[in-house]
Amino acid sequence: MSSPWTVTVDQEWIAWLTFDLPDRKVNTLTAAAMTELRGILDQFPGDRQIRALVITSAKRDSFIVGADIDELAAITSVEDAQTKARTGREVFDTLQAVSLPTIAVIDGACLGGGLEMALACDYRLVTDRDKTSLGFPEVNLGIIPGWGGTQRLPSLVGLTQALQMILSGKPVDGPKAYRVGLADGIVAPQFLKEQTHRFVDRVSGASGRREVLARRRAAVPFPMRLLAATWPGRRLIYGRVKHQVLARTKGHYPAPLEALQVVSATHHRRNVDGGAVETEAFARLTGTAISRNLVWLFQAGQRLKKGVRTSSKPPHPISAAGVVGAGIMGSGIACALSNVGISVRMKDVRWEVVAKGMASAASIYRRRVKRRRMTPDQMSLAMHRIAPTVDDVGFGGLDLVIEAVVEDLQIKKTVLRSIEKHVRPDTIIATNTSSLSLESLAGDLAHPERFVGLHFFNPVDRMPLVEVVAAGRTSPGTLVAAAALVRRLGKIPMVVGDCAGFLVNRILLPYLIESAWMFEEGTEIERIDGLLEKFGMPMGPLALVDEVGLDTGYKVAKVLEDAYGDRMRVPGALGAIAENGDFLGKKSGCGFYRYRNGHRRPNRRLGRLARRSRQVDGVRARTLSDEEIVDRAILIMVNEAARCIGEGVVEGPEAVDMAMVLGTGFAPFRGGLLRYADERGVSGIKARLGELSSAFGDRFTSAPLIDSIADNGGGFYGSASGGVQDAK
């Protein structure tokens, strides 16, 4: 295999070390690449006339995105992890010791080990384009930087900025990297080579070097420098940051706390071998169950991003689209389309509704401007791509129309028939329904082959998953075009089969419904939510119902009850609350919780409704254990997920786990719903479902797939003795 590293010396005696990993779209620091890099560095400077060593990438949009994730996943022991960390650190120590000025030229993603390599250089130049980002995403994989990142970054950008980058895993763009002192120069990509030569000329002389170092020091605010210069000041910083980390992670993720401990134990400690402390912490975290789960989720996400595989060619590219329905979902979808350069006609029945939709889209863009993700000029252009309307003029020229009206079967069917009358024969028609079967919606369409489901999740601008739903008569070309559009929007398409609730809501709604049953039986709202947050859910189920809206959630729940019968029977308490009118959730200021001045507290007024509903539903008050509360909520989801796989709604457990993590925020550190089930043991889950069925009803009767897997002694992901593949 050809070498990934090439060294050339130009006429100005600058050595260019270019990284281009063969057969990869991006550069990763594989073990072989690191070994070869060390050999090259050991030879520098081979010629005393060489003025500087410049490290660049031949990959478009990428400098180096980190270590090889497959090699990380293959680490099986603490000793293996220690060896990998020490080897990488020694290579970058060698880079740091090169007697020439060393400059990392970063045009694109510079992450993880790539940033650690850049930090080992004397200087860093970055470009100002959108693709340039610098960061340490290791905590998102359950580990910490292991090749010197925790040691070099605080000395460069200051303690506070370094902790923010290391503990959050969030990258900074080129301009911010320059502002905080992480980069020593920022240039337009068109003039990168020319400006690199000029930068070498500057730092070759003592005055230019002093100028760069002075600017870097000035980038750290004086109060932060002063605070971090003393032990009491650093203790204050560490205490405040630890509190913030625990509030964000709820103690489920050890990597940020471990990274904080490494920095606090090594920064400004002259008699401490910081590299050794970092290596030991990296090795402790690598290979733990949490790290394995997070690494697996990353790999599964990469596989999912590859999209739908089919031999069918998609229809013509989508350049103009329509969105019918200007509510929260419709305006969010219109915003997502306009953001990638697609012209959008957003329609509703009244101008005041359309005006609210335009205001909602504008608020999304204003948040992006505030976070420096786009400029005001870019916002203006994107908003001008959205044309508000209350009629069908112009719909004949659209490539795609997405229906996003209220979740009512008859209203949606009427809207879809109207859309079909006003568009071209080849225009794709999509629905954003969250629960209604596509077959039920497509019944009156003349061309059901161009009808597809595009189920976006709320809020559209933040949720990465979109369910792409294929009805029985949806053509392969339509499916491919829909998935391609989702990827163009920067989101992840999950192709699922047609059924009520599709995949995510079909699994999530039983969790919400079961939590409502426990509330009706007399369990306190905050106890249900608290235990499930402790399990790892991003928010409790009853708080989630408030976020969705009691009226909306109840309507979707009833759709699933109609489709699946007693298995998803909705408790009377949920209907009584939803139909009350005063308790619609967060949007009305009161639901399961009362909301005031940014705070919430349980709504005690609902207790009377729960007691009345118990009599109507024929259930009794119960005192539940913590284990019963968690198992009733979580295992009913496992059971429904098994039914989805058994019915072919999705291909397998990986799709379920990715959908639940991306679509609901299911505890990532557990690896997904069905990885959790495998870790717990499917045989044990079958037995536990039997106990719950005896105590609480037939809705807990184990799915046929669970019975089959348990009988084979395997798991959803298979084993030597059985598993989902054998169960099929």
Which residues carry out catalysis?
A: 455
Q: Where are the beta strands (DSSP E) in 315-447?
A: 320-324, 343-347, 386-389, 400-403, 428-431
The β-bridge relationship of strands 5-9 and 14-19 is antiparallel
CA dist 709 and 674 (Å) reads 12
Chain position carrying tokens 């980069």 = 183
Instruction: Record the tokens describing residue 260, joined without a space.
Output: 């904080």
- Which 3 state secondary structure label does DSSP give 124? strand
3-state helix, strand, coil in the chain (%, to 5): 55, 15, 30
Question: Is 710 exposed, middle or buried (CB count within 10 Å of its CB: 0-12, 13-18, 19+)?
Answer: buried
Residues contacting 16, CB < 8 A, separation 6+: 7, 8, 9, 10, 54, 56
Over the range 477-501, which residues count as b (16 or more CB within 10 Å of their CB) and which as e?
A: bbbbbbbbbbeebebbbbbbbbbbb
Contacts of 414 (CB under 8 A, 6+ apart): none
Copy the structure tokens of residue 39: 């050999």
User: In whole angstroms, what is the distance from residue 679 CA to residue 691 CA?
Assistant: 20
As a three-state string, the secondary structure of 210-267 is HHHHHHHHHCCCHHHHHHHCCHHHHHHHHHHHHHHHHHHHCCCCHHHHHHHHHHHHHC
Rounded Cα distance between 117 and 19, Å, is 12
Q: Alpha helices of 69-205 — where are they, by DSSP H?
A: 69-73, 78-96, 113-120, 149-157, 159-168, 174-179, 192-204
- If you compute the radius of gyration of the chain from its CA atoms, what whole number of angstroms results? 28
- The three-point CA angle 461-462-464 to 5° equals 100
E strands, 484-577, in order? 492-497
Q: What is the dihedral of CA 684, 689, 691, 696, to 10 degrees?
A: 160
**Closest by Cα among 722, 673, 725 to 297:** 673
* Spatial separation of the C-alpha atoms in residues 102 and 109, rounded to whole Å: 19
The residue type at 613: S
Place of tokens 């608290």: 530
Structural contact between residues 536 and 667, judged by C-beta atoms closer than 8 angstroms: yes
H or E stretch including 479? helix 476-488
Cross-strand bridge partners of residue 599:
596
Contacting residues for 570 by C-beta, under 8 A, at least 6 apart = 513, 516, 554, 557, 558, 561
348 contact partners, CB below 8 Å, separation of at least 6: 324, 325, 326, 327, 330, 354, 357, 390
